Amino acid sequence: MTATMREFRDRATIAIEDVRLQTALEAATGRFCTARAAALAKLPWVEAMRDQFKAMRAATLANLAQHLEQFERQATAVGAQVHWARGGAEACAIVTGIAQRRGVTLVTKSKSMATEEIHLNTALAQAGIQPVETDLGEWIIQLAGEAPSHIIAPAIHKTKEQVAALFAQELGQTELPADIPALTAVARQMLRAKFLAAGMGISGGNLAVAETGSVVLVTNEGNGRMVTSAPPVHVAVIGIEKIAPTWDDAALWLSLLARSATGQPMSIYTTVVTGPKRAGDPDGPEEVHVVLLDNGRSQLIGSKYEEILQCIRCGACLNICPVYREAGGHAYGSPYSGPIGAVLSPLLFGLEKYPALPHASSLCGACKEVCPARIDLPRMLLELRADLVAQGLASPVEQFLEQGAALTMRSSRVWQFVTAMGRWGQRPLLQNGRLTLPASLNPVGERQLPHLAAKSFRELWRQGEV
């Protein structure tokens, strides 16, 4: 996947012209924003808590190797197996290897951005293993063969009619009523059978706690509990940056995560997995594996972009982002969309593949304001834009125009000359003093373009008209 300027604009235009999608996006993101604000307002010390959280995340990243080793020691001590993966292919090989060793043909998955990032489902399918997404939203987009369009609400772009059609097809029926409780019941029934039949459960991890070697999973549906309880093997794939050194740190993390994401004080299920089932446990997986995924993250430690690794994937920056709210998630061409995706995708997957994303922002700063870790996303977008220019990834036309304009503006005399030429040059284009872009050239309607005034301010000043 990539996001060139053309691709981003084309995909965004499709979203902008889709009235149903626009209505759904606006309503969903608006609801998340309102719920988040209300939930945070109930904590009298929330701003101090965010400062504390940021300080904790920064301190953890500065000493990440030590915390990862501690996690590994503790997890191993309780019988979990810890694996390290430099990149996506390596991580996929580890997971499919475990499945093949156990003779697994069906795996159930709970929602995980890390496995989206490494395209684990494709790798599993290629190895003859059927992966079934069990988060309702993820399952919907898996059936549709699409990518998630929101970090926490992956099927935000689908209507109930579209979902009914997908489910009917999966069931081999001609039609299902577009009734949300009924569709939920269908999913419950169909996926219940998968949970009980699966030979392996795969999850991501919202965080890992070094102190006890635990992986923490947050879900509302209960699929996180299912994949970690029903199958004989559980594999968690988690980015190396998602470490909380202690349970005090984890408590702080959990206090902000659900509130920032959905406005819930706590998600319905917060599951803590600490190794496989113990002697005397009536059920639970015999094997627990944790795959620590690097995939470009360690390169960011110590760089000007290290702060981005403080992200906990709550999605608050997507919901507030005016660009995301119009363009939708698919425009970004990455599992990570919105402001976090605009920074993370070029950093993890290559700036040359995602040259449009640093520009997919009006730099309004709303993302930074709602981020639980106060990550300075606008600052990083600016840095990425400078990197685009420095690495010669900006288009030659843009470079010529920018450099030319700057040269012009370094002298007010040249500037006056050029603008005077512009005044003369724009005359044939103006009609009744307006420069109009017709609706046929603009998806959202006619627009008046900026043009030069008949007299500049400096002329008026010199002529004593001010």
Partner 1 sequence: MTARTEILQRLRAQRREVNVPHPWQSRQRFDDLGQQFAAALTAVYGKVYLAASLEEASGQLGQLLAELGARRVVANDELLLSALDPAARWPDLVWHIVGQTPGDLRAFAAAADVGLSSAAAAIAETGSLLIASGPGRSRLVTLLPPVHVVLLPARLLITDLFTFIAARGGEMPANMTFVSGPSKTADIEQTMSIGVHGPKQLSVILYQE
Partner 2 sequence: MNPIALFVTCLVDQALPEVGVATARLLRRAGFQVEFPQAQTCCGQPFFNSGYRTQARELAQHTVALLQPYEAIVLPSGSCTAMIRLEYPHLLADNPRWYYAARRVAAKTYELSEFLAKFAPDFLADHKLETMPLVSSKSPITYHDSCHMNRMLHLRAQPRAALRAAGYEIVEMAESERCCGFGGLFSVKMPEVSNAMTVAKLRLARQTAVTTLITADPGCLQQMRGMVCPGDGLVVKHLAVALEEALSGNAEEQEQ
- The residues that touch partner 2, with contacts defined as CB under 8 A, are 5, 8-9, 12-13, 16, 26, 322-323, 325-327, 358-366, 368-369, 382, 384-390, 394, 398, 402-403, 405-406, 409-412, 415, 419, 442-453, 455-461, 465-466
Q: Identify the bridge partners of residue 239 per DSSP, sorted by sequence position.
A: 293
Q: What tokens does 59 get?
A: 């301190």
Sole binder of partner 1 in the list 41, 89, 171, 196 (CB under 8 A): 196
250 binds, among partner 1, partner 2, none (CB under 5 to 8 A by kind): partner 1
118 Cβ neighbours under 8 A, 6+ residues apart:
87, 88, 89, 91, 92, 237, 293, 295
444 Cβ neighbours under 8 A, 6+ residues apart:
16
Question: Which residue lies nearer to partner 2 by CB, 42 or 447?
Answer: 447
- Within residues 35-74, the interface with partner 1 by CB under 8 A covers 45, 48-49, 52, 55-56, 58-59, 62-66, 68-69
**Start-end of H helices in 113-159:** 113-117, 120-126, 136-144
386 binds, among partner 1, partner 2, none (CB under 5 to 8 A by kind): partner 2
126 binds, among partner 2, partner 1, none (CB under 5 to 8 A by kind): none
How many Cα atoms within 13 Å fall on the side-chain side of residue 353?
13
99 binds, among partner 1, partner 2, none (CB under 5 to 8 A by kind): none
140 binds, among partner 1, partner 2, none (CB under 5 to 8 A by kind): partner 1
- How far apart are alpha carbons 409 and 205 in whole angstroms? 52
Question: Which residue lies nearer to partner 1 by CB, 85 or 371?
Answer: 85
How many Cα atoms within 13 Å fall on the side-chain side of residue 22?
12
Question: Which residue lies nearer to partner 1 by CB, 283 or 465?
Answer: 283
> Min. distance of Cβ 54 from partner 1 in angstroms?
9
> Min. distance of Cβ 460 from partner 2 in angstroms?
6
Contact between 212 and partner 1 (CB under 8 A)? yes
329 Cβ neighbours under 8 A, 6+ residues apart:
147, 148, 149, 150, 156, 157, 318, 337, 338, 341
Contact between 308 and partner 1 (CB under 8 A)? no
> Min. distance of Cβ 251 from partner 1 in angstroms?
5
Fill in the per-residue mask, 126 to 165: x = in contact with partner 1 (CB under 8 A), - = not in contact.
--------xxxx--x------------xxxx-xxx--x--
- How far apart are alpha carbons 32 and 148 in whole angstroms? 17
- Within residues 363-422, the interface with partner 1 by CB under 8 A covers none
Angle between helix 412-426 and 396-409 (nearest 10): 120
Window of 96-104, 125-133, 299-307, 369-377 that interacts with partner 1 by CB under 8 A:
299-307
Contact between 78 and partner 1 (CB under 8 A)? yes
360 binds, among partner 1, partner 2, none (CB under 5 to 8 A by kind): partner 2
Dump the DSSP string for 268-302: SEEEEE-SSPPTT-SSS-SEEEEEEE-TTHHHHTT
299 binds, among partner 2, partner 1, none (CB under 5 to 8 A by kind): partner 1
> Min. distance of Cβ 180 from partner 1 in angstroms?
5
- Our measurement of the distance from residue 93's CA atom to the centroid of its chain's CA atoms, rounded to an integer in Å, reads 24
User: For the chain, percent helix, then strand, then coil, each to nearest 5?
Assistant: 55, 10, 35
> Min. distance of Cβ 315 from partner 2 in angstroms?
18
CB 158 within 8 A of CB 141: yes
